[in-house]
């Protein structure tokens, strides 16, 4: 399985247009972070997109993505779903299976009725599957399990994809969900900044979760400019924990 980090930034992205801090003015391309998303290519050659934010078109062109076989959605915030119209190039021949919780499903039907209810010609063709959180689904040969999280007070999904766990935008793993994280090889987890935040894990909080799950390797994502320079912060983390960056590819 291969994971490509399409974007590793927070909702505003990095650099922040109005900021002149050392991160936002850095010449290191790893300090430039588009909105958070990743692409999982399974062992049987299927492409699974996790979230589709406002930078998806740019990300797809950069990574030369030629097809998608499924979309997994974590939650309904703008920076995770607003690139949905840019999926049309991947849905000409068949509908794209899309998996989400009831809150996301309601948002899609209400805000994108021209896609999901009264389909307008030329818009993406989506096949929406509403999950409650306890289901196991298969995309090709890969087992997919939603993991119930809290993003502040908002219930959202993380995703267990084979031996990968992808947990972004979270402040809590809901009781009863920890067992889904057993034997995780690679953990991708939200770490917004060093300071506490009401709706995201800080670096310290994320490291506490890493210590409980004990994956072989961890990558931090959904980072703001307050995370610091990539080269500095990455060196301060334990050997098995790294900062992800846009365009990073890893094998699991």
Q: What digits encode the pLDDT tens for the residues 106-157? A: 999 999 999 999 989 889 999 999 999 999 999 999 999 999 999 999 999 9
Confidence (pLDDT) at 93: 82
* Vertex 162: Cα angle to 160 and 165 (nearest 5): 35
Structural domain spans, the chain: 2-251
CATH number of 2-251: 3.60.15.10
Element (H, E) at 206: helix 203-213
Instruction: Name every residue whose Cβ is closer than 8 Å to that of residue 117 and which is 6 or more positions away in sequence.
Output: 109
224-250 average pLDDT score: 98
**If DSSP codes are grouped into helix, strand and coil, which group holds residue 40?**
strand
pTM: 0.97
Statement: residue 15 has pLDDT above 90: yes
Q: Evaluate whether 133 touches 101 at the Cβ level (below 8 Å).
A: yes
Tokens of 224: 């703001």
* Vertex 224: Cα angle to 60 and 32 (nearest 5): 45
Confidence (pLDDT) at 97: 98
Confidence (pLDDT) at 92: 85
pLDDT confidence of 248, banded at 50, 70, 90?
very high
Tokens of 137: 């689904």
Confidence (pLDDT) at 142: 98
Distance CA 42, CA 93 (A): 21
192-200 average pLDDT score: 98
Tokens of 114: 């021209």
161-177 tens-digit pLDDT? 999 999 999 999 999 99
244-249 average pLDDT score: 98
Q: Evaluate whether 4 touches 219 at the Cβ level (below 8 Å).
A: no
User: Checking DSSP bridges between strand 70-72 and strand 96-100, what pairing results, if any?
Assistant: parallel
CB-hemisphere CA count at 13 Å for 77? Answer: 19
**If DSSP codes are grouped into helix, strand and coil, which group holds residue 52?**
coil
Q: What is the 3-state secondary structure (H, E, C) of 80-112?
A: HHCCHHHHHHHCCCCCEEEEECHHHHHHHHHHC
* Vertex 82: Cα angle to 87 and 150 (nearest 5): 120
**If DSSP codes are grouped into helix, strand and coil, which group holds residue 28?**
coil
194-214 average pLDDT score: 98
CB-hemisphere CA count at 13 Å for 116? Answer: 17
Tokens of 239: 């050997």
19-73 tens-digit pLDDT? 999 999 999 999 999 999 999 999 999 999 999 999 999 999 999 999 999 999 9
Tokens of 162: 């084979």
Candidates 181, 233, 210; CA nearest to 22 is 233
Q: Mean pLDDT across the chain, nearest whole number?
A: 97
CA distances from 124 to 99, 135, 239 (A): 15, 26, 42
Backbone angles phi, psi at 31, to 5 degrees: -90, 0
């Amino acid at each position: 399985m291969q994971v490509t980090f399409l974007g590793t930034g927070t909702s505003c992205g990095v650099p922040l247009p109005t900021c002149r801090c050392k991160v936002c003015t850095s010449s290191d391309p790893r300090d430039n972070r588009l909105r958070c998303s990743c692409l999982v290519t399974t062992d049987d050659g299927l492409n699974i997109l996790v979230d589709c934010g406002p930078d998806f078109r740019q990300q797809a062109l950069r990574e030369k993505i030629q097809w998608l076989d499924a979309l997994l959605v974590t939650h309904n915030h703008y920076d995770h779903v607003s690139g949905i119209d840019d999926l049309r190039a991947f849905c000409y021949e068949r509908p794209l299976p899309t998996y989400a919780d009831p809150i996301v499903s309601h948002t899609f039907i209400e805000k994108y009725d021209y896609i999901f209810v009264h389909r307008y010609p030329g818009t993406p063709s989506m096949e929406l599957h509403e999950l409650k959180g306890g289901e196991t689904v298969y995309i090709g040969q890969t087992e997919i399990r939603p993991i119930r999280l809290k993003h502040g007070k908002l219930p959202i999904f993380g995703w267990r994809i084979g031996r990968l766990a992808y947990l972004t935008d979270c402040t809590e793993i809901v009781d009863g969900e920890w067992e889904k994280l057993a034997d995780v090889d690679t953990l991708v987890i939200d770490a917004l900044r060093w300071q506490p935040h009401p709706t995201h894990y800080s670096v310290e909080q994320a490291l506490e979760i890493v210590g409980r799950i004990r994956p072989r390797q961890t990558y931090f994502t959904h980072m703001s400019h307050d995370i610091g320079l990539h080269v500095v912060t990455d060196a301060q983390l334990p050997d098995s924990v790294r900062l992800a960056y846009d365009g990073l590819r890893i094998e699991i």
